[in-house]
Structure 1
């Protein structure tokens, strides 16, 4: 019998040293992806060299990353709702030290394949406006196969404006069906904030919702109110929707990797919900998007 919300972890539940949250293969049933999140106030967070590739993602603030005998400056951003940030990919076999002030995430995947490290500027991050109408959301594809030459990692982040739905229709990627579906573990890291221009007080309890449910690959059930810093893991099964209440904007960072030889993100919609995509052709993209500060949107797709 599946335990309700067994793959959902409120902020701080996975703390480890300087890391507010640490996801890795020490968690039972988890093996292909990792994520570490820290709040630094001028301090440092260190990760050793090993058979693991990483992407350093400033959530808020700016940082310097020491790696391979040099230091890379990440300009970062004010918050996750201020458009894309620059990121740093550090290939397997290299350790790193992150220094600075703000919140930082480090996505991970174990691999013995060595790829060169690379700094991706915010202006070079592909920005996708996905869906339409109330299903509109903004995707920053800095760690997808088209944007980054990594070994296993597939990483992106999504902004869902208040009142909108994302990870919708519900879909899965837990079978190897060449050309149709790939096997990928997935991590969702969430942040939530009052909508731009809204009237919510500073101490408002910002939240959103997230769901998963079972597929032939295994039993899973998540029906959670999510708040900033919470993490949901998806080892298998259908996942979605992620829904933002009208008063709050929703952000999540997705980290994916899996056992298949090809690094590709291919999904199967729940056949009972796949029809929803057909409705987007007659709807406009939410005019509030894109959420950006100083870069230019690259084409929208549906």
Structure 2
């Protein structure tokens, strides 16, 4: 599929991909442009058992290796990028590795773990690099019951890539994030950028509770868009956003919600348009305090020995 083509938009019932529905050997999640029905964005979740290896051929895409749990060594073009990782997404910011297109990387995890492979088709070939956890900007966004934490590890303004934008969002139980609903599906210079987006969800279950269930909404914005989607999301679920208004992401009371956002498009810029019926909520943020449960954690002041 060429970069200039416009693939068929997925049907509404294809936008929510429950845990395991996209699995391939060793990968509980596998989303690429062909399976998503679009042009740029990819996400794979790799499960490595202790002392196992994985080969990643980057092909026409740039990739970031982001530990969800565990540590991993990434070997690429003569470099050993040792990722200290973290116990899980609810306890720490992680370091990460950037891999260019048209190369091969080898991953090895002595203790095993789960690793997000975040990708985007691209043109420029940048060098492989290590992204330290202490350099990840941690932002608190919103206020009151719309408070959330954003780990901007590969936001457009924090880390250089060709096409890829990726951030992590942590929402305390009972709060809404991705709110007000917004969209980024048209190229309007200086006002809105065209970006495909993937949401990958995890929920933290307190001791003695059952699995948490959150909600995420995607609504159409034009004549070629999909139907409304209100997805009941659990750990490991994916929601695709090819276009349209999306949000809120609602975390159930008592269960903190995490999601990994992967975005890419013709222009590497995060320019969004709020839904006009809900943008007023931003005007209330200066009158409400940030949820005192945030931040769930901060970036370390310095990195581990390498």
Instruction: Using structure 2 for the length normalisation, give the TM-score.
Output: 0.90
- Could you tell me how far apart the structure 2 residues matched to 1:150 and 1:4 are? 30
- Shift of the 219–49 alpha-carbon distance from structure 1 to 2, 3 Å rule, reads closer
Q: Secondary structure at the match of 2:49?
A: strand
Moved over 3 A (4+): 2-5
Q: Look up the SS of the partner of 2:187 in the other structure.
A: coil
Q: Which residue of 2 aligns with 1:205?
A: 211
Greater Cα offset, 266-275 or 213-222: 213-222
Partner of 2:87: 78
State the secondary structure of the residue aligned to 1:276.
Answer: helix
Q: Tell me what 1:234 maps to.
A: 241
- What SS is found at the alignment partner of 2:280? helix
Q: Secondary structure at the match of 2:256?
A: strand
Deviation per residue, 1:211-270 (Å, 9 max, x gap): 1010015124221111111111000011000011111000000000012xx310000011
**Aligned to 1:176, what secondary structure does the other structure show?**
strand
Distance 1:95 1:187 in 2: 24
Matched, 1:36 2:41: no
The within-5 A match list for 1:277-292 is 277-292=282-297
State the partner residue of 1:295: 300
- Equivalent residue runs for 1:144-159 within 5 Å: 144-159=155-170
Q: Report the CA distance between 1:115 and its aligned residue.
A: 1.0
Task: Tell me how far apart the structure 2 counterparts of residues 17 and 39 of structure 1 sit (CA, whole Å).
Answer: 9
**Distance in 2 between residues matched to 1:244 and 1:263, nearest whole Å:** 29
Please give the root-mean-square deviation of Cα atoms over the aligned residues, in Å: 1.6
CA shift for structure 1 position 201: 1.0
How many residues align? The count is 288
**Matches of 1:75 and 1:140 in 2, distance apart?**
17
Shift of 1:4: 4.6
Gapped runs of 5+ residues in structure 1?
297-302
Distance (Å, rounded) in 1 between the aligned partners of 2:221 and 2:68: 32
Which residue matches 2:304?
none
Deviation at 1:3, TM superposition (A): 5.3
Over 3 Å counting, the alpha-carbon distance change for 1:157 and 1:45 in structure 2 is same
Cross-structure match for 1:48: 57
Contact 2:61 2:100 in 1 (8 A): yes
Q: Which runs of 5+ in 2 are unaligned?
A: 1-9, 302-306
Please give the secondary structure, in 1, of the residue aligned with 2:285. helix
Residue 150 of structure 2 is matched in structure 1 by 139
SS of equivalent residue, structure 2 residue 286? helix
More moved, 280-289 vs 86-95: 86-95
The secondary structure found in structure 2 opposite 1:76 is strand
User: Normalising by structure 1, what TM-score?
Assistant: 0.91
SS in 2 for 1:280: helix
Deviations 1:197-217 (A, max 9, x none): x5x416x12121111010015
Deviations 1:45-88 (A, max 9, x none): 22114221001110011111111123211001111011311011
In 2, Cα distance between equivalents of 1:263 and 1:3? 26
The answer on 1:13 being equivalent to 2:21 is yes
The 3-state SS of whatever aligns with 1:27 is helix
Kept in 1: contact 2:19–2:236 (CA 8 A): yes
User: C-alpha separation between the residues in 2 aligned to 1:236 and 1:294?
Assistant: 32
**CA shift digits 1:139-187 (9 cap, x unpaired):** 0001012211100000000000111110001000000111110000000
* Aligned counterpart, 1:299: none
Mapped partners of 1:180, 1:10: distance in 2? 33
Contact 1:220–1:237 (CA under 8 A) maintained in structure 2: no
